[in-house]
Amino acid sequence: MAGLTRERRTAYLLGLPAALITAALFLVPLALLFAVSFTGADGFSLSAYARLFGSEHYLWVIGNSLQLALITTLVTLVIAYPASFAIARAKGVWRSLLLGSLLLPLAASVIVKAFAWTILLRSTGIVNNTLIALGLIHEPIRMIFTETALVIGAVNVFLPFMILPIFAVVAQMDERLTEAAATLGAGPVAAFWRVTVPVTLPGVIAGIALVFSLTVSAYVVPTLLIGERYPTLPSTIAKAYLLTNEGSFGAAAGVVLLTIALAVVIVSSRLGKAPGAAR
């Protein structure tokens, strides 16, 4: 630190406690998780990873996690993109109401929201009773413990994490950009793809990274809405640690899950810094 300025040395010293706390709370546990994943009965072993990637069942489990994350991300993006513009273009009290309706659910526990969907979608729930009252169906249809119910619940829980990053970008977007594109001869569709989409792309990328990472690592929502019918990596990790006492295998599954989440964050970060992404 001899070649550093006094201000920079002070900044480093002030940041040192936070760095040590971060290392103690995050880096050390992750390092232990990584080490345990390579541990077997006789010391170093790749048996946990061989079991994870050598079994059709666990490859299916990994596929389930990726499929749920991908579908949830796509559905939330389709809903969030126009919703973000609606909130950003709203004025006065209407914007406050829309933002409040978006942020208020974040105060509720994920468990509460997942249980609420089980009540709504069960055979005697509001959805089935409403469909029967309207004459659209004659007897209750199975909704709970299906992949459809899982996607609906996941979209409901993670939708705000897609809307907020896009809204943050759209709210700063100059509305005159599309007007300028129109004066240069661009039609509505061309102006949207060549002006609006590139400007809002950083928010879209951030939202995709958030929702995908949160969904792929979700445990409560799949467990409550579909259970063992749709095993995922988080449920596999919980089972390995809580039921079968297979710490090495659970750690290996955790490393794979962490790798997927980190890969999404790194790729999205690179895309966000790509030329033209922030224009």
Question: Are residues 183 and 40 in contact, defined by beta-carbon separation less than 8 angstroms?
Answer: no
Q: Which two tokens stand for residue 198?
A: 């590139």
Q: Which two tokens stand for residue 246?
A: 């297979």
What is the number of domains present in the chain? Answer: 1
Question: For residues 141, 142, 148 and 151, what is the CA-based torsion angle, rounded to 10 degrees?
Answer: 120
Phi then psi for residue 44, to 5 deg, are -60, 135
Q: How does DSSP assign 122-136, residue by residue?
A: STTSHHHHHHHHTTS
pLDDT at 122 over 50: yes
Mean pLDDT along residues 31-53: 89
Question: Is 169 within the bounds of a domain?
Answer: yes
Q: Which two tokens stand for residue 118?
A: 């089980």
SS3 at position 274: coil
In the chain, pLDDT over 90 holds for what percent of residues?
A: 40
Domain that holds residue 227: 55-110+142-273
Mean pLDDT along residues 247-256: 93
Question: Is 35 within the bounds of a domain?
Answer: no
Amino acid at 28: V
Question: Is 246 within the bounds of a domain?
Answer: yes
Among 95, 109, 71, CA closest to 167: 95
Question: Is 226 within the bounds of a domain?
Answer: yes
For residue 138, what pLDDT is reported?
Answer: 86
Q: What are the pLDDT digits (tens) for 269-279? A: 787 665 455 44
- DSSP 8-state symbol, 43: E
**Degrees to nearest 5, angle at CA 225 with 224 and 231:** 85
For residue 77, what pLDDT is reported?
Answer: 96
What value does the mean pLDDT of the chain take? Answer: 87
Phi then psi for residue 172, to 5 deg, are -95, -5
Per-residue CA distances from 171 to 84, 87, 96, 184, 199 (Å): 8, 8, 13, 24, 11
Q: What is the CATH number of the domain that holds 264?
A: 1.10.3720.10
Mean pLDDT along residues 49-68: 94
For residue 273, what pLDDT is reported?
Answer: 66
pTM of structure:
0.84
DSSP bridge pairs for 43: 40
**116 vs 3, which has greater pLDDT?**
116
Question: Are residues 199 and 177 in contact, defined by beta-carbon separation less than 8 angstroms?
Answer: yes
For residue 274, what pLDDT is reported?
Answer: 54
**Distance from chain centroid for Cα 275:** 25
Q: What are the pLDDT digits (tens) for 97-117? A: 888 888 888 888 888 888 888
pLDDT band at 64 (very low <50, low <70, confident <90, very high): very high
Question: Is 258 within the bounds of a domain?
Answer: yes
Question: Is 117 within the bounds of a domain?
Answer: no
Question: Is 29 within the bounds of a domain?
Answer: no
Question: Within 13 Å and on the Cβ side, how many CA atoms surround 187?
Answer: 1
Mean pLDDT along residues 58-86: 95
**Other Cβ atoms within 10 Å of 42 Cβ, number:** 7
H helix runs in 23-55, sequence order = 28-37, 47-54
Question: Helix crossing, 233-242 with 247-273: angle to 10°?
Answer: 150
Question: Is 15 within the bounds of a domain?
Answer: no
Pairing of strands 39-40, 43-44: antiparallel
